[in-house]
Amino acid sequence: MVNIGPMPFFCGSPLEEPEEFSTLRACPGPRLLRTAAGGEGWLVTRYDDVRKLAADPRIGRSHPRPQQALRLWDAAMFVPQSNFDTELGDHQFWRRVLTPRFTSPDLSAQRELAVPLLDGLIDTMLAAGPPADLRQMVAEPFATRLILDFVGIPSEEHARMRAWSDAIRVPGDRAAAEAARSALLGRLGELIDRRHADPADDALTDLARALTPHGPLTREQAIEAAGHLFFGGHETVAARIAYGLLFLLAHPDQYQSLHDDPSLAAGAAEEILRLAVPGGSWIPRYAREDIPFRGSLIRAGDLVVFALQAANRDPNRFTGPNLFDITRAPNPHIAFGRGKFYCLGADLARVALRTVCEQLPQRLPGLGLHALWAVLSTDKERVTGGLRTLLVSW
Q: Give the domain ranges of the chain.
A: 20-393
Handedness of CA 185, 190, 195, 196 (dihedral sign): positive
Torsion of CA 287, 291, 294, 296, to 10 degrees: 80
Which residues is 132 bridged to in the sheet? 392
Mean pLDDT of 117-124: 98
Return the pLDDT at 373. Answer: 55
pLDDT band at 1 (very low <50, low <70, confident <90, very high): very low
Determine what percent of the chain is predicted with pLDDT higher than 70: 93
Query: What sign results for the dihedral spanned by CA atoms 217, 220, 223, 228?
Result: negative
Q: Are 292 and 29 in contact (CB under 8 A)?
A: no
List the beta bridge partners of residue 291: 298
Q: Does the predicted model carry a pTM greater than 0.75? A: yes
Q: Which CATH architecture has domain 20-393?
A: Orthogonal Bundle (1.10)
Cα 38 from Cα 44, distance rounded (Å): 18
- Find out whether 276 and 247 touch, Cβ atoms under 8 Å: yes
Residue partners of 232: CB distance under 8 A and separation at least 6:
343, 345
Q: 33 near 262, Cβ under 8 Å?
A: no
3-state secondary structure of 292: strand
The pLDDT, as a whole number, for residue 109 is: 84
Do 216 and 90 meet the contact criterion of CB atoms below 8 Å apart? no
Contact 167, 176 (CB under 8 A): yes
Confidence of residue 384 (pLDDT cuts 50, 70, 90): low
Radius of gyration of the chain (CA): 21
- The answer to which of 169-183, 304-318, 337-351 has the lowest mean pLDDT is 169-183
Instruction: Say whether pLDDT at 324 is over 50.
Output: yes
Give the mean pLDDT of 352-373. 92
- What is the Cα–Cα distance from 74 to 77, expressed in whole angstroms? 9
